Amino acid sequence: MSEHDGTLSYSLNREKLHKARRREGRYLLRTNLTETDPVKLWSYYLQLVAVEEAFRTLKGDLAIRSIFH
């Protein structure tokens, strides 16, 4: 068993850090649409997010109401 003197040592893998920093702030969308304009695809995605949020809100509102037939 070796004796420890309480110091901390580390090494930095600069190549791995560089690769990680290049990916920061990026968002990858995978789609089956044939549109090639990334701005238009991003717009479609934002519309989808808004519709899903509206359904979640509607579902939440319906869950708290009494339904009488």
Please give the chain's pLDDT, 69 residues, in tens: 456 778 888 899 999 999 888 888 777 788 898 888 889 999 999 999 999 998 888 776 666 666 666
Write down the pLDDT at residue 45: 92
HSE toward the beta carbon, residue 45, CA cutoff 13 A: 14
The C-alpha angle 55, 59, 62, rounded to 5 degrees, equals 140
Write down the pLDDT at residue 63: 62
